[in-house]
Amino acid sequence: MKQLKFGVIGCGEISAATCIGLAASPYTSIAMLMDTRAEALADLADLYSVPTTTDPDAVFTNPDVDAVYIATPHFLHVSLGIRAAKAGKHVLVEKPIATTLEDADKLIMACDKAGVKLGVAYYNQVDDGQRQAAELVRAGVLGDIISVRLNAAANKPASYWQGGYSQRVKADWRTSKAQAGGGILLMNVSHELNAVRFVTGLEVTRVYAESDTLATNIEVEDTIGVVMRYANGAIGVIQAGSAMHGGEYQTLGGPRIYGTKGQLILNPSGTLLKPMIYMSAPAEGSNPGEWKELFFVGKAADRQAIVEGFAKAVLNDQQPPCTGIDGYKALEIVLASYRSSELHQPINLPL
């Protein structure tokens, strides 16, 4: 079987997990590992027996590399992605695509110009449950969408800000407005914004946000509330925080989508739960008034699904499941929310 050979750029917390997927998928393989810190390379080099380097040019000039997977701090995604594109490598970039819309545009245009594919590593478009949910919603099973609710009550430990959950790499970029671009909304909720956009096809047209850093010694927000208006008139709310003691006790699942006939609860991104559906009106496979798991063929998305979805698209010369434009759109809602909070006024989209 033809494989897409990846150069991995940035070998920290998430790359260690992504490499498992790259090695497991019949569609992908690891050709080279790169990180500016040699210590982040040692264990992965042992595991995968591939060449390593601390110089990104060694990846860009390596003829064995077809595509790069970029999993660095956010502010570096675009400059590395553009260099890869110019070298003729396909680009799978971790979320968020960039920290500004101007930068996101530059990366999208550089990949277009170079004739290489650009994908963003969100789970939703390759999650079979969310794909089935998208088909149902777009077929009108829920009726008209009237409301959306996104909740992310995380209780991130102090150590997270100095080295992520795993402490694999000690670094404080997640605390920095310039390097991370944002806090919980950008870092985590952008997955769910991408999910709702993918499942409903609806664009956000206005946001009003209140955002602050109330309980953590960091530059980015740790507490945020956003009200969103969608193109069809639906109204959405986001409540998110990274210092929420007790976390999500007894809250079921991810984003909720409310229609005139029923409700859908998506699985939180990257979890193996199944979406749940509730129909008030009679519908095939559903008894009115009963919650049930969505039936779908396939599996919930993991790291392998992300890299495999991208690789299949490149190998078949198709659009990646989550495109640069999808990444741009998720980022736009986040940045509009930050601007709204700074200016204390509603912000219309597109920006």
Ligand X SMILES: NC(=O)c1ccc[n+]([C@@H]2O[C@H](COP(=O)([O-])OP(=O)(O)OC[C@H]3O[C@@H](n4cnc5c(N)ncnc54)[C@H](O)[C@@H]3O)[C@@H](O)[C@H]2O)c1
Selected range binding ligand X among 34-42, 197-205, 206-214, 326-334, rule: CB under 6 A = 34-42
Q: Identify which of 2, 1, 30, 27 has the alpha carbon closest to the alpha carbon of residue 18.
A: 30
Rounded Cα gap, residues 181 and 177, in angstroms: 5
Cα-Cα-Cα-Cα dihedral of 308, 310, 313, 316, to 10°? Answer: -60
Cα separation, 121 vs 294, whole angstroms? 24
**Separation between Cα atoms, residue 196 and residue 188, nearest integer Å:** 14
Give 40 or 136: the residue with its C-beta nearer to ligand X. Answer: 40
Site string for ligand X, 110-149 (x = CB under 6 A): -----------x----------------------------
CA gap 326, 197 in Å, rounded:
9
Residue 22 as a binder of ligand X (CB under 6 A): the answer is: no
Nearest residue (CB) to ligand X, 262 versus 327:
327
Q: Tokens 């970039």 label which residue?
A: 93
- Determine, following the binding rule CB under 6 A, whether residue 11 of this chain makes contact with ligand X: yes
The contact mask relative to ligand X for 165-194 (x = CB under 6 A, - = no) is ---xx-x---------------x-------
Q: Tokens standing for 323? A: 């495109």
50 or 76: whose CB is closer to ligand X? 76
- Give 124 or 340: the residue with its C-beta nearer to ligand X: 124
Among 3, 29, 36, 176, binds ligand X (CB under 6 A): 36
Asked if 40 touches ligand X (CB under 6 A), the answer is yes
Beta strands in 231-326 (DSSP E): 235-241, 256-259, 262-265, 276-279, 291-293
Of 121 and 277, which CB lies nearer to ligand X in the complex structure? 121
Nearer to ligand X, 72 or 151 (CB): 72
Does the footprint of ligand X cover residue 94 (CB under 6 A)? yes
For residue 111, give the DSSP letter.
H
Among 4, 6, 7, 12, binds ligand X (CB under 6 A): 12
Task: Please report the beta strands in the chain, taking only residues with DSSP state E, as ranges in sequence order.
Answer: 4-9, 28-34, 52-53, 67-70, 90-93, 118-120, 145-153, 204-212, 223-230, 235-241, 256-259, 262-265, 276-279, 291-293, 347-348
For ligand X, the binding residues (CB under 6 A) are: 9-15, 34-37, 40, 56, 71-74, 76, 94-95, 121, 164, 168-169, 171, 187, 270
